[in-house]
């Protein structure tokens, strides 16, 4: 089965590819250079995921999957949330995003550093959303960046129970418990249910 992912974020599609394995052919914006930029004007993960999935599915045949995701930090009242990608001031600039997060969290004590990654996935076809799923993983924000794997906020986020950041744990462990992995498992169930 071919699954078209409405994303320009190669890290997301690579993780999805790894998790789906051989049963699916995963395509993304790199396979469709003419895709338009879809403005993420929503204020929730679901709104933005729906915008991306519906816009792209109007242009291609078959199921389109979108992923809108981000980090919610309790001490920052849920920020950066849907604005995770541009938190440092420039879209997709992960070092700047991480620098701002560390700065904002500088005075926050250990017991108040709880956070979660959230991933909302929408499946759409023919320009219409069909269904959505949400995955979350709870953890805490570290005091400094640790590890070199993964992407985005991974060096600053340690899932509860592991004592290491996602960037230290590596893709196999990350995928087994991540927000994206948990949302994708529900997508696969839905796709495989006759
Ligand atoms: P597309 O909209 O093209 O899919 P994007 O990167 O702009 O790509 P989002 O708007 O969903 O996607 O923003 C996601 C941001 O949330 C991402 O840039 C990271 O900053 C953060 N993020 C999401 N999942 C993450 C993960 O697994 N590890 C680290 N950071 C993550």
Residue pair 123/129 in contact (Cβ under 8 Å)? The answer is: yes
pLDDT given for residue 66 in this prediction: 98
pLDDT > 90? residue 194? no
Active site residue 154: no
**CATH code, domain with 99:** 3.90.950.10
- Measured by CA distance, the residue closest to atom 30 of ligand 1 is 152
Give, in degrees to the nearest 5, the angle at Cα 14 between 31 and 143: 135
Q: E strands within the chain?
A: 2-5, 25-27, 64-73, 114-125, 128-141, 157-159
Domain count, the chain: 1
> What six digits make up the tokens of 176?
């087994």
144, pLDDT greater than 90: yes
Confidence at 37, pLDDT banded by 50, 70, 90: very high
**Catalytic member of 28, 67, 68, 154:** 68
The whole-number average pLDDT for the span 143-165 is 97
Domain, as residue range, for 16: 2-192
- Please report which confidence band the pLDDT of residue 145 belongs to, taking 50, 70 and 90 as the band edges: very high
Task: Work out the pLDDT band at 132, boundaries 50, 70, 90.
Answer: very high
72 lines ligand 1 (CB under 6 A): no
Please state, rounded to an integer, the average pLDDT across all residues of the chain: 97
**Interval 48-66 mean pLDDT:** 97
For residue 194, report the distance from its CA to the centre of ligand 1, in Å: 31
Residue 94 C-alpha from the chain's centroid: 13
Q: Which of 9, 83, 122 to mutate to test the pocket of ligand 1 (most atoms within 8 A of CB)?
A: 9
Beta carbons of 49 and 122 less than 8 angstroms apart: yes
Give the nearest ligand 1 atom to 87 CA: 20
Q: What is the pLDDT of residue 14?
A: 97
State the distance from the centre of ligand 1 to the C-alpha of 93, rounded, in angstroms.
11
pLDDT in tens, 62-114: 999 999 999 999 999 999 999 999 999 999 999 999 999 999 999 999 999 99
Dihedral sign of CA atoms 26, 30, 35, 38 in order: positive
């Amino acid at each position: 089965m071919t699954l078209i992912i409405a994303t320009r974020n190669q890290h997301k599609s690579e993780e999805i590819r790894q998790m789906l394995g051989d049963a699916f052919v995963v395509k993304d914006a790199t396979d469709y250079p003419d895709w338009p930029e879809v403005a993420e004007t929503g204020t929730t993960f679901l709104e933005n995921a729906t915008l991306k999935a519906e816009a792209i599915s109007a242009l291609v045949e078959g199921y389109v999957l979108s992923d809108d995701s981000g980090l919610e930090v309790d001490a920052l009242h849920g920020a950066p949330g849907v604005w995770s990608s541009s938190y440092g001031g420039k879209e997709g600039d992960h070092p700047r995003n991480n620098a701002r997060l560390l700065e904002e969290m500088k005075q926050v004590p250990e017991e108040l550093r709880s956070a979660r990654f959230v991933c909302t996935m929408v499946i759409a076809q023919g320009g219409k959303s069909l269904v959505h799923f949400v995955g979350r993983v709870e953890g805490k924000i570290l005091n400094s960046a640790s590890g070199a794997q993964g992407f985005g906020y991974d060096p600053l986020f340690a899932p509860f129970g592991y004592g290491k950041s996602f960037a230290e744990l590596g893709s196999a462990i990350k995928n087994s418990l991540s927000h994206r992995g948990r949302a994708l498992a529900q997508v696969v169930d839905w796709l495989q249910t006759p």
